[in-house]
Amino acid sequence: MLKFIAKRLLQAIPVLLGIITIVFFVMRVFAPDPVGMLLGQEATPEKIEALREYWGLNDPLAVQYGRFLGQALTGDLGTSLKSRQPVIGELLSRLPATLELGLAALVFSVVVGVGIGVAAAVRQNSVFDRAAMFAGLIGMSMPVFWLGLMLIIAFGVNMGLLPISGRIGLDISLVRVTGFNIIDSVIAGNWAALASSVKHMAMPAFCIGVISCASFARLTRSTMLEVIRQDYVRTARSKGLRERTVIIKHALKNASIPIVTYLGVQLGSVVAGAVLTETVFSWPGVGTYMVNGINNYDYPVVQASALILAASFVLANLLTDILYGYLDPKIRKA
C-alpha cells in the first residue's frame, strides 16, 4: 500500500509542474501588461521602465519562468497589486473557507446521493424511483448560480430562515485556530458560533452539492441494480441475513468502486461550483478572491488562486486514487 501511495504521489508531480507552467505562460504571454494597468494615469515611460525592471519583466521569458517556478515551489506567489500584501498569506487565510464549504458539499452529495440511489435501486420502477431519477435529471441541468439565487429568494428573503451571505454572524466572535469555523467553534465550545456557521453554510453547500448529488444518485442506482442480481447477493439472502445487511454489507460495498471513481470526476464540479457559488453567497473563499482579482486586473492574485484551485483539485484526485487502491486490491497490485 505504501509503495502504491508513493507511486501515485510521484505521478502527481509532473501534473503540478504542468499546471504551474500553463498558468505562467497563459498569464505572461497573453495577458495585457500589468505595469500599465497598475500605474494607470500616472504612467510615464520612466516609471513603467523602472517598475518593469523591478519586477524582472525585462528578463528573457525562460529566466522569468525559472524564477516563477522557484518562487512557486518555495511558496512565494507574488504580491497583490491592489492590497500590496503577499498573495500567499491572503490565500491561506481564505483557503479553509473554500475547503470547508467544498467538503461539506461533497459529504452532502455523497451521503444523500448514494442514499437516494440505493433506495431507488431497491425499489426499481416504483414511484419513488421514477420521481428520484427525474429530479436527478433536473438537478443535473441546474445552473448552480441560479439555484443559489433562488434559494436566497426562498429561504433568505421570503422566509428569513437562513443568512444569505458570509460565513458567520457579524455579532459572533470566534478565535481562529484551524480556519475551519466548525472545528474552531467545537474546540472553543462556542455553540452559538457553531450554529451560526452551520446556518451560513447550509445554502451554499447544498447548492454546490446538488449537481454531484444527482449524478451520484443515478450512478449508484445503476451499479446497485447490477450488483443486486449477483449470485453472492442471492447467497447472502438465502443464508437468512436481514435485508438491510444484504444491501449495505454485501451489495453496496461491491458497488462502491465505481462510486469512488466517480468521486474524482465530481471533485471538478465541486471546485467549479465553489467559484460560482462563493460569488453568489459572498463566501470569503478562494473563488471570490479570484473573481475580485480578475475585476481589479490583479494578475498575481488570479494566477495564484488558479494555481491553488487547480492544485487542490489534483491533490483531491490523488486522495481518491489512493482510496480507490485501498478499496480494490487489483488496482493496488497492478
Partner 1 sequence: MNEGAENAAMERDGELNAVLDWELGEERSGELGGRLNDELDRGLGAGLGEGLGNGLDWELGESLYDGLGKSLGESLHEGLGEGLDGEPLAEKAPSFFRDIAARFCRNRLALASLCALALIAAIAVFAPLIAPYSPYAGELSMISAKPSAAHLLGCDENGRDVLSRLIYGARISLTVGFLAVAIQTAVSIVIGLFVAYYGGVLDTVVMRFLDMLMAFPGILLAIIFMSVFGKGLENAIMAITIVGIPSATRMVRATAISAKESDYVQAARAIGCKSLSIMFKHILPNIMAPIIVTATMSISGTILSTAALGFLGLGVQPPTAEWGTMLSMGKNFIYSAPYLVMFPGAAIAVTILAFNLFGDGLRDALDPRLK
Residues found near partner 1 in the complex (CB under 8 A): 15, 18-19, 21-23, 26-27, 30-32, 137-138, 140-143, 145-147, 149-150, 152-153, 157, 268-269, 271-272, 275-276, 279-280, 290-291, 293-295, 299, 302, 306, 309-310, 313-314
- Cβ proximity to partner 1: between 185 and 215 the closer is 215
Question: From CA 160, how far away is CA 153, in angstroms rounded?
Answer: 9
Question: From CA 296, how far away is CA 132, in angstroms rounded?
Answer: 43
What's the grid cell of residue 330?
487489483
Question: From CA 191, how far away is CA 168, in angstroms rounded?
Answer: 12
- Cβ proximity to partner 1: between 164 and 168 the closer is 164
Closest distance of CB 331 from partner 1, Å = 19
- Cβ proximity to partner 1: between 107 and 154 the closer is 154
Question: From CA 43, how far away is CA 83, in angstroms rounded?
Answer: 19
Closest distance of CB 151 from partner 1, Å = 11
Closest distance of CB 202 from partner 1, Å = 18
Angle between helix axes 144-151 and 191-228 (nearest 10 degrees) is 130
Closest distance of CB 220 from partner 1, Å = 17
Closest distance of CB 273 from partner 1, Å = 9
- Cβ proximity to partner 1: between 96 and 300 the closer is 300
Measured between alpha carbons, how far is residue 203 from residues 160, 194, 211 in Å?
13, 15, 14
- Count the neighbouring beta carbons within 10 Å of the beta carbon of residue 108: 19
Spell 122-154 as b/e; 16+ CB within 10 A means b: beeeeeebeebbeebeebbeeebeebbbebbee
- Cβ proximity to partner 1: between 255 and 306 the closer is 306
- Cβ proximity to partner 1: between 18 and 70 the closer is 18
- Cβ proximity to partner 1: between 79 and 292 the closer is 292
Q: What angle do CA 147, 210, 228 make, to 5 degrees?
A: 150
Closest distance of CB 169 from partner 1, Å = 19
- Residue partners of 13: CB distance under 8 A and separation at least 6: none
Cα-trace Rg, the chain: 24
- Cβ proximity to partner 1: between 36 and 268 the closer is 268
Strand partners, 79: 86
Closest distance of CB 291 from partner 1, Å = 6
Closest distance of CB 246 from partner 1, Å = 28
Which of the 8 DSSP states describes residue 124?
A: T
Question: From CA 298, how far away is CA 318, in angstroms rounded?
Answer: 30
